Amino acid sequence: MASLRKTVDRRSFLKLGAVASGVVVGGCGAPEGSATAPSNFELGYRPLGGTGLEVSEVAFGAHGLDREDLMRAALDAGINTFCVSGDYLDGMEEKALGEAMSALGSHREKVVIVTGTTFHHGTSSTQRVLDEIDASLRRLRTDHIDVFLNGEVRSPSDLRVDALYEAFELARKAGKVGHLGLSSHAGGMQACLNAAIDNPQIEVFFIKYDFVSYPDQEAILRRAAERGIGTMVFKTNAGGRQREIKDLEAGGLSFPQATVKWALTNPDVSSVAVSMTNFDTIRQFTSEVNTGVSAAEVAMMRRYADEMYDKYCRFCGECEASCPHGVAVADINRHAMYFSYYGREKEAMQRYRSLSGRCSAEACDGCNGPCDAACPFDRSVRTELMEAHRRLSFQEA
């Protein structure tokens, strides 16, 4: 436990320190101490590993969003990479993107579509995978998918889905799919990535990446890049709780923009998927992120890391082994984050209800909370789980 805490702390310190010293990749670098970025920069593009695809440094993250008008605006603004899923909103994300491309008459070869669904060993057949690919193609109004993902990869065993590889090769030969990837943001993500690097069929990572989690992530992404794997990332804002810190964004700073700029300082990151819920977000992230990270922005991220140290759940899963009730701590905290900070209350409650009774936080009432002592970051785990249960099950205090 102490080892994980030390390595995460050291990684955060070194990474933010390197950026503060001027190690900026893919941007021009804002003046020292500058709080606002110039507005005359264009959105950049990077190769996605060895796939041959060129992706916009900022991708449209459509998680839980089916706004065709926003997708059209993003295409107009130069975003060429769209991350959707057949799992969310019953495929409506994919349908909205298909409508946006059709309405604009966009040249399909200029758009990179990243989509997929979740497949597990023993529960997924070759035919089911083929059916999911065909369903996505119909909703997207296209004849091929550039990157097809296996979602919610939690452990290396989730990579051992023979039906997925068999179906993907059939679909690739038919011209329906281009490259296979994985998506992960679980506590066991680092083990998954290490295993995937040795899997020649995996070509793309779509993963969580922030400045306070996953101690070995930079080294893993370097190894992946050397193998030709392209990496796209999301959730760079470490929980998005900036409103809880007074004056954190004073002087015109933007915490979400700063975290995206930070992620793009890593040359092994090709693109950052951002949830674009309004037109102003599209404008900001297409005109102001390709500028490097200023000293003021680094200071803001340092302060956030300090003040959220014992509040932000990193989904590491270290505390779960101590729970006598089998509570799904990381999943529940992620659902609570969606509820409280992402504006996705209905989805969060639905996901919480989908947990089996044994895994819910209802069991925390009356427990002595061994999870508190097991957390490497001194979080009040039991108290926060009980609050999450109250919100996600809509109970009155």
Residues with Cβ < 8 Å from 138, sequence gap 6 or more? none
CATH tag, 26-304: 3.20.20.100
pLDDT-based confidence at residue 81 (cuts at 50, 70, 90): very high
- pLDDT for residue 287: 84
Distance CA 34, CA 20 (A): 12
Distance CA 271, CA 251 (A): 27
pLDDT-based confidence at residue 318 (cuts at 50, 70, 90): confident
Helix (H) or strand (E) holding 130: helix 126-140
Residues with Cβ < 8 Å from 154, sequence gap 6 or more? 184, 186, 187, 188, 189, 192
* pLDDT digits 0-9 by tens, 133-176: 999 999 999 999 999 999 889 889 899 899 999 999 999 999 99
The residues of the chain that CATH labels 3.20.20.100 are 26-304
- pLDDT for residue 372: 94
Share of residues in the chain with pLDDT > 70 (%): 88
Integer Rg of the chain from CA: 21
**Average model confidence (pLDDT) across the chain:** 87
Q: What angle do CA 194, 275, 146 make, to 5 degrees?
A: 55
163: tokens are 């039906």
Nearest Cα to Cα of residue 58 among 321, 219, 260: 260
Distance CA 158, CA 172 (A): 21
Question: 291 vs 44, which has greater pLDDT?
Answer: 44
Count of other CB atoms within 10 angstroms of residue 151: 20
* pLDDT digits 0-9 by tens, 4-34: 555 555 555 445 655 555 533 333 333 333 3
Alpha-carbon torsion, ordered 19, 23, 27, 32, to 10 deg = 60
Distance CA 38, CA 384 (A): 40
Lowest mean pLDDT among 29-43, 116-130, 291-305: 29-43
pLDDT at 324 over 90: yes
Helix (H) or strand (E) holding 260: helix 255-264
pLDDT at 67 over 60: yes
At which residue do the structure tokens 């979400």 appear? Answer: 256
- pTM for the structure as a whole: 0.86
Query: Which among 30-34, 119-123, 200-204, 328-332 has the top mean pLDDT?
Result: 200-204
- pLDDT for residue 342: 80
Find the distance separating the first CA and the last CA of the chain, reported in whole Å: 33
3-state secondary structure of 282: helix
Residues with Cβ < 8 Å from 307, sequence gap 6 or more? 244, 245
- pLDDT for residue 334: 87
What is the number of helices (H) and of strands (E) in the chain?
14, 10
Average pLDDT, integer, range 184-212: 93
